[in-house]
Structure 1
Amino acid sequence: MSRGSITDVPGIRVGHAQRRGGGWLTGVTVVLPPAGTIGSVDVRGGGPGTHETDALDPTTLVPTVDAVVLTGGSAYGLAAAGGVQRWCEENGRGFPVPGGVVPIVPAAAIFDLGRGGDFAARPDAAMGYEAALDAAGSAEGAAVERGNAGAGTGAAIGAGRFKGGVGTASVRLSGKNSGVVVGALAVVNAAGVPWHPGAVPPSSGEGLNTTLVVVAVNAALSVAEAKRTATAAHAGMARALNPVHTLADGDTIFTLATGAVALAADPRLPAAAMIELQSAAAEAVRVAILDGVAAAGEVSTAGGSWPAFPAAGG
């Protein structure tokens, strides 16, 4: 049964690029929103690898986001954002400045270095450009490839013992706000494993970790509301994985708001609609993470072998 997709949010497109074999096991995922989309971020992990996240603070100059890049390769892989910026500039997407535009392209990375066998095999600007092209060329509402794709190609969970991957989900609000769709896309590379009663968290193991998420909504939000939505959505990560937000994780959630639909507020409790939206964001994140684990297949390379997690589920 389909759990929905981040591309259920009108105008949101997703593209992947990846390399496997010959020492490679890594990739890039790009989330491409409509022009004018508002964005913010909440970074909770103790070991983040990020690019341009400071630009998404509600107190800064530019409220919009032109693309979000999720990448393998740890800090090295953040170079992929340069390729996405190049695609955006070529297509006139960015903050207008004298002489041209400056694309706002925040990025975050997972640690997958060496999982294909070659520590130096990691995403670069060319792979970022390829993923941007893939996103731009996709149809409205196109299915998102899950599991071992894009930034999830080299992902692993459980302190590196099981395969991780890309997952996605969506939730629709109720009543007068039934036109509002909240979607999430997750790259699951966690130190933890899917939470269930009696589960024993893994030991620290080898390597570093991270779960990256993009939440998208077609509602009109301010940057501050997008920031608060990213914060609330971290509850979904905590419901899905144990442990989360550790010193060895770079857990990060971006929020994109396309502004196509105005939230209908109840005058008796104006905050109720926003509370429902943020609760839906947390649920979409939870399901997207479990979807990513469930969609990941077994992978064996020169760098090691990662079986699929045996107990993933919703």
Structure 2
Amino acid sequence: MTSITDVPGIRVGHAGRTGAGWLSGVTVVLPPGGTVGSVDVRGGGPGTHETDALDPTTLTRTVDAVVLAGGSAFGLAAAHGTQRWCEENGRGFPVPGGVVPIVPAAAIFDLGRGGDFTARPDDAMGYTAAADAAAREDGHDVERGNAGAGTGAAIGRGQFKGGVGTASLTLDNGVVVGALAVVNSLGLPTAAGKGAGDGNPGAWDQPPLPLNTTLVVVATNAILDKAECKRTASAAHAGLARALNPSHTLADGDTVFCLATGAIALDRSSESARQSGLITLQSAAADAVSLAILDGIACAEAVSTPAGRFGAYRP
């Protein structure tokens, strides 16, 4: 099975809790030092932290970790724990007296799904997930389904279990493009051009609660600058739309991060070659995102909780 960790140097760590009111967790993507990153937020109900720092016009270039968390806006506190781990390990933007780790984060809504509305990720869980990622070997297997930030994920108005999925593609020039997704969407997987509404606009007559989000991290070993990472994140949203219907709604917080570790140079010998290389990479990013989303749903298992039962989605 392919994974985002097929990109050399990328590691993924999870932390989560179930039972005693809990059904939530955190996933941390830990890239090698010097990794360039950006983000594109498309959903109408995002919960994010420090994404402004990833705009191509801002000062910093590199990203020290990406945090994906349950717990809605409360769960963004997990980023502080990951930031603390990074500081302890000397990862961050150098400033007089130390470093300031650049740790963007995004969250899904899973509040109360385990029975306790106050059971959500915190600083300690973010630290644990970062340490888990750092302890992994290069190229390690990534736990899928009901793990990390996917512990309390659900899809299709909460009818079915969502979860964590991952995939990768390798291009002819040796560039690897991987994706990791936390699927907590309003929509369901598309089939024959249809999805959760089955092509019937009336299926959405009842407004959904703003409790949905698909979070994605795309990673590549190509050399990209910050603006090219931004464009790759934008292109990767196409994969989200292909896999889920509906997507990018007012009730979703759909967000895609892009990380470039900078190990392989693209052909930039001419403007035509530059454009062709970037378009090929960005197309692969969209494909990897689709595969990761479907993987996350396929690997999720039905669970019973005090808040209700989430079935396993089987088309």
Normalised to the residue count of structure 2, the TM-score between the two structures is 0.95
SS at match of 2:158: coil
- Report what 1:274 is aligned to: 278
Look up the match of 1:259.
Answer: 262
1:54 aligns with 2:52: yes
The corresponding residue for 1:64 is 62
| Residues 218-251 of structure 1, C-alpha deviations (whole Å, 9 max, x = no match) | 0000000000000000000000000000011000
Which residue is 1:286 aligned to? Answer: 290
Alignment deviations for residues 43-67 of structure 1 (CA, whole Å, 9 cap, x no partner)? 0000000000000000000010000
Partners in 2 of 1:236 and 1:50 — Cα distance?
Answer: 21
Cα RMSD (Å) of the superposition?
A: 1.1
Q: How does 1:219-258 map to 2 (within 5 A)?
A: 219-258=222-261
Q: What is residue 36 of structure 1 aligned with on the other side?
A: 34
| Aligned equivalents of 1:95, 1:114: Cα separation in 2 | 36
Secondary structure of the structure 2 residue equivalent to 1:113: coil
Which position in structure 2 is the counterpart of 1:11?
A: 9
SS of 1:287 mapped into structure 2: helix
The structural deviation recorded for 1:268 is 7.1
Show structure 1 runs of 5+ residues with no match: none
The residue aligned with 1:299 is 303
Residue 180 (structure 1) aligned with residue 175 (structure 2): yes
TM-score w.r.t. structure 1 length? 0.96
CA distance 1:200–1:118, shift in 2 (3 Å): closer
How do residues 85-234 of structure 1 correspond to structure 2 at under 5 angstroms? Answer: 85-174=83-172, 177=173, 179-197=174-192, 198-201=194-197, 203=204, 204-206=207-209, 208-234=211-237
Q: Secondary structure of 1:269's partner?
A: helix
- Asked if 1 retains the 8 angstrom alpha-carbon contact of 2:212 and 2:251, the reply is yes
Q: Percent identity?
A: 73
- 1:60 is paired with a residue of what secondary structure? coil
Seen in structure 2, the aligned counterparts of structure 1 residues 15 and 200 have a Cα distance that, compared at 3 Å, is: closer
2:26–2:129 contact (8 Å) kept in structure 1: yes
Equivalence map 1:13-28=2 (5 Å): 13-28=11-26
Q: CA deviation at 1:206?
A: 4.5
> In structure 1, what is the Cα distance between the partners aligned to 2:137 and 2:270?
38
Q: Distance in 2 between matches of 1:36 and 1:28?
A: 23
Q: Deviations over 1:78-127 (max 9, x none)?
A: 00000000000000000000010000000000000000000000000000
Question: Match for residue 80 of structure 1?
Answer: 78
Task: Measure how far apart 1:159 and its partner are.
Answer: 1.1
- Name the CA distance, whole Å, in 2 between partners of 1:98 and 1:267: 41
Amino acid in the other structure paired with 2:314: P
- Consecutive unaligned residues in structure 2, runs of 5 or more: 198-202
Work out whether residues 266 and 272 of structure 1, in 8 Å CA contact, stay in contact via their aligned partners in 2.
no
Deviation at 1:301, TM superposition (A): 1.2
Using the TM superposition, name which of 195-204 and 234-243 deviates more.
195-204
C-alpha contact 2:189 2:196 (8 A) present in aligned 1:
no
The letter of the residue matching 1:213 is V
Point out the more displaced range, 17-26 or 268-277.
268-277
**Rounded Cα–Cα distance in structure 2 between residues aligned with 1:71 and 1:153:** 10
CA deviation map 1:137-176 (0-9, x unaligned): 01100000000000000000001110000000001112xx
Matches of 1:145 and 1:29, distance apart in 2 = 10
Task: For 2:131 and 2:233, locate their aligned partners in 1 and report how far apart those are by CA, in whole Å.
Answer: 27
Runs of 4+ displaced beyond 4 Å: 204-207
Distance 2:149 2:119 in 1: 13
Counterpart residue identity of residue 63, structure 2: V
Residue aligning to 2:200: none
Task: Give distance in 2, aligned partners of 1:227 and 1:51.
Answer: 17
| Secondary structure at 2:272 match in 1 | coil
C-alpha separation between the residues in 2 aligned to 1:133 and 1:38?
21
Alpha-carbon distance change, 306 to 207 in structure 1, aligned in 2, over 3 angstroms: farther
Partners of 1:146 and 1:293 in 2: how far apart?
Answer: 9
Question: Quick check: 2:5–2:178 contact (8 Å CA) kept in 1?
Answer: yes
**Inter-partner Cα distance in structure 2 for 1:55 and 1:131:** 22
Query: Counterpart in 2 of 1:310?
Result: 314
